[in-house]
Amino acid sequence: MSAEATAAYVEEYLPEDEALLAARRSAARVGGAAPVSPAVGATLRFIAAALAARAVVEIGTGCGTSGIWLLRGMRREAVLTSVDVEPEHQRLARKAFTEAGFASNRYRLISGKAADVLPRLTDGGYDLVFCDADKQEYPDYLTAALRLLRVGGVVAFDNALWGGSVADPGRTDPETSAIREVAELVRQDERLVPLLLPVGDGLLAAVKRG
């Protein structure tokens, strides 16, 4: 079996239901909010469930695809805090969450730049921080996540392979360089237990040690 067929099998292993497919269609219509792949979504749900997550921060709401996956892994009373600079994306995400059956008290959508919003969130108050916004800000998101996470919490970054660019030393554009930088920071930080998964466009994750 080819690598492509194997990757497709992994992505299709947990098919998305209508709520997720509708959120994906919304993202395709508005553009600029590429959703996580099904395998990345399933991984996020798995991490949230393994952590029995009560509080999660998502940087980059998009149109709700990743949020649905996260909410489905979190505890029933848990709250997702999702930050995005695009009000229209968050409007569509709110619609997606409602259609997926989540009450409005299960999530709070904050419109604004991560650099402005994250400092207002509680130190050590979160089980998981998922980053999927401006790639050039990934190193800054890591700094914020280390403050926000409890011991044993997880930080995760989508697009960690960036279409193969990160592994290509000839690619030095700002986005690739920032993703490569955060991967190295995670790998070298003794406070973290890192993992790089080849699902979707790559998912970089790390557990915060005690």
Q: How many CA atoms lie within 13 A of 46 on its CB side?
A: 9
* Per-residue pLDDT, 210: 85
pLDDT, residue 31, reads 86
The type of residue at 120 is R
The list of the chain residues with pLDDT below 50 reads: none
What's the pLDDT score for residue 1? Answer: 66
> In whole angstroms, what is the distance from residue 206 CA to residue 195 CA?
6
| 130 three-state secondary structure | strand
Phi and psi based region of residue 112 (left: phi greater than 0; alpha: psi -120 to 50; beta: remaining): left
Domain boundaries, the chain: 3-208
pLDDT score of 29: 95
Check whether domain 3-208 has CATH 3.40.50.150, yes or no = yes
What Å distances lie between residue 144 and 59, 61, 116, CA to CA?
Answer: 11, 17, 11
